[in-house]
Amino acid sequence: MTTLRYKDYQGSVSYEDGTLVLQILHIDDFITTECDSAADAQMAFEALVDDYLATCADVGKEPNRPFKGSFNVRVSPELHRRAAMAAAEEGISLNAWVERAMAQRLELASPPSFRRAG
């Protein structure tokens, strides 16, 4: 799957029946469009997001924000135990430990333009 980004929104691009299908990800609404060319995909995605935001404003609806900063993660009991113990040894909460681990992993895995500041 190819992804696009615009205004803190992420979209997917898939190929179906000879057409590129774009969808806004991580929101409750199902918002999609099509385009004929990969060269036009970013522009089509930006128009899709702008139209979604304008439609929400027109109807007085708060647009879905992709991320709220809270999520549930299911892991094995063994991994949960090991992470909780590691956090306690460092004197921090499990949430803080997981946040740090995620930030470190993303720092290593992300291209420079997506690295977290600070």
Considering only residues 117 and 74, tell me which one the structure prediction assigns the higher pLDDT: 74
How far is Cα 58 from Cα 37, in angstroms, rounded to an integer? 30
Q: For 16-55, how does the pLDDT look when each residue is reduced to its tens digit (9 = 90+)?
A: 888 899 999 999 889 999 998 899 999 999 999 999 999 9
Q: What is the mean pLDDT of residues 82-98?
A: 91
What is the β-pairing status of strands 9-16 and 32-35? unpaired
Element housing 22 (H / E): strand 19-24
Q: Which amino acid is at 79?
A: L
Percent of all residues in the chain with a pLDDT value above 70, rounded to a whole number: 92
pLDDT score, position 117: 44
Torsions phi, psi for 30 (to 5 deg): -100, 100
Q: What is the mean pLDDT of residues 66-81?
A: 88
Residue 48 has a CB neighbour count (10 Å cut-off) of: 21
pLDDT score, position 115: 44
Considering only residues 115 and 101, tell me which one the structure prediction assigns the higher pLDDT: 101
* Residue 1 in tokens: 């799957």
